[in-house]
Amino acid sequence: MVFLPDFRSKDGLPVVPIYMNGSPQSFDSATTTLFPVINAVSDTIIHYAVSAAPSSAIAACDAASDAFQTWRRTTPTYRRTLLVRAADVVETKMQKIMQAQISETSCPNEFAAINVKGGVANMREIAAATSELRGTVPQRSTQPDGEEVEGLTIVIREPVGVVLVIPPWNGAVVLPLRAISQVLAAGCTVVLKASELCPKTHHLLVQCFEEAGIPKGVINVIQARREDAAEVTEAVIAHKAVRKVDFIGSGAVGSQIGQVCAKHLKPILMELGGKGPAIVLQDADLHKAAFLCAMGAVADHGQLCFSTERIIVHKSVYDKFIDVLKATFSRFPAAGDAVSKQSAQHAYDVLVDAKEKGANFLVGGPEFLSATSLKPTIVTNVSYHARVRDEETFGPSVSVYVAKDDDDAIAIANDSAYGLSAAVHSGSWEHAYKVARQLEYGQVYINNMTTGDSPGAPIRGVKGSGWGQSNSIWGIHEFSVEKTLVS
């Protein structure tokens, strides 16, 4: 199968095409809009991609709609088998997928490997959960005189329809694999809007599904340059066959897409940004907590919505913990590279704003190591009006706060527009549990990093971090609807 054929631009570089109905779509280089995909570290164009027009986006929806008529009638067992087979293909192509992700997003090799392994784990868990798609038989009501109503009522689950999946560039493998697998497991078909920053990576993932035997038209792939993205996205959402959207990305873009969905009365599953707090209680293992907090802050240059962005420390252990944390940060003199110069500049600007508003830096500060890499940083004395207080930095920095007691720590942690991921560090599970129950976050990790994920447990954001759930049967249910049949 030639999924990514040797299409070339005028300057001889490869071109990532649009893919629909089982075939890469040829294009006229004289009339088709291409956009460059740039490796941020080398600051060079590594390939181009075709930018979809609304007409090609609609054609992808048509292909998914046609395929849905057959795919919806497949059995969960059939879909489970194909998903397991696709997971096997992803494993065999691990190095190729990693290479594409590293080239397009500048992530470290270790992070790319974790992405592939995590994606495979999610695929296999979702495949196993297809057997959990079940209906129910509710009890019948009674007549006013107490006589039971004759007949039968059953509730069945059906696939919602065509789904627009919009995955991000960070978590460029694990997140699209999870999203696509959930949609397919429910019996729905996909229009995947690949990220403009890593279109080749996303196309390679779809190739794995195709090689596993997914029928033509069940997964279709488009991408668009940023100037075209809004128009193309609305064309897909407005399409009558598209019944739901799965978006993973920033709160700002999520708000825009959510408004378009509301306009067209389409539901949306959103996993958005975070400002992850890690609470260090007075009975915590300080060395372990410091290491996990530091790792959560600097992993992949801090470009994770699950990153540890805030550390809240009980006053009785604050001074000792800070000493340990500073020593731990010294083990990470660098944290990799940002996906783009613009992303690195944003992280830098947030730290400059904090400094101008009175913040201090225990380690690092607003300082570039290169055009795409910032020095790992610990921020203290954060003004309530500083951007860093509740804006994602998407850089390798963390703010530290002192709490008078548990209630104060909880209040500081909850004082955020976000509610995605948090952590609590304590030597007592009961103590940590009591605090965790009061945190307004979809996930709370005890004595672990905020960046964790478990394929067999639901994952969600609350408040400004999104709507709906992903993973396993919870994610599958997002793309199915209950229908009541009454006789």
**305 tagged catalytic:** yes
pTM: 0.95
Cα–Cα–Cα angle for 111, 109, 197, rounded to 5 degrees? 75
Give the domains, in start order, of the chain with CATH numbers: 15-272+465-486 (3.40.605.10), 276-454 (3.40.309.10)
Two tokens, residue 413: 């942690």
Catalytic residue among 196, 210, 271, 392: 271
Catalytic residue among 107, 188, 208, 305: 305
Mean pLDDT of the chain: 95
| DSSP character string of 224-263 | --HHHHHHHHHHHHHSTTEEEEEEES-HHHHHHHHHHHHH
Please return the burial class of 373, using the count of CB atoms within 10 Å of its CB with bins 0-12, 13-18 and 19+. buried
Give the DSSP H or E segment for 466.
strand 466-467
Cβ neighbours for 124, distance < 8 A, ≥ 6 positions apart: 83, 84, 87, 455
The DSSP bridge partners found for residue 48 are 15, 36
pLDDT digits (tens, 9 = 90+) for 289-318: 999 999 999 999 999 999 999 999 999 999
CB of 189 within 8 A of CB of 64?
Answer: yes
- pLDDT band, very low/low/confident/very high, at 141 (cuts 50, 70, 90): confident
Strands (E), 29-177: 34-39, 44-50, 153-159, 162-166
Residue 457's pLDDT is 95
Q: Which of 443, 313, 464 shows the shortest CA–CA distance to 378?
A: 313
Residue 2 has pLDDT above 80, yes or no: no
pLDDT digits (tens, 9 = 90+) for 52-78: 999 999 999 999 999 999 999 999 999
**271 tagged catalytic:** yes
The residue-averaged pLDDT of 444-456 equals: 94
CB of 102 within 8 A of CB of 109?
Answer: yes
What is the DSSP pairing of strand 373-374 with strand 377-380? unpaired
Amino acid (1-letter code) at residue 61: C
Which of the 8 DSSP states describes residue 132?
G
The DSSP bridge partners found for residue 158 are 481
- pLDDT band, very low/low/confident/very high, at 12 (cuts 50, 70, 90): confident
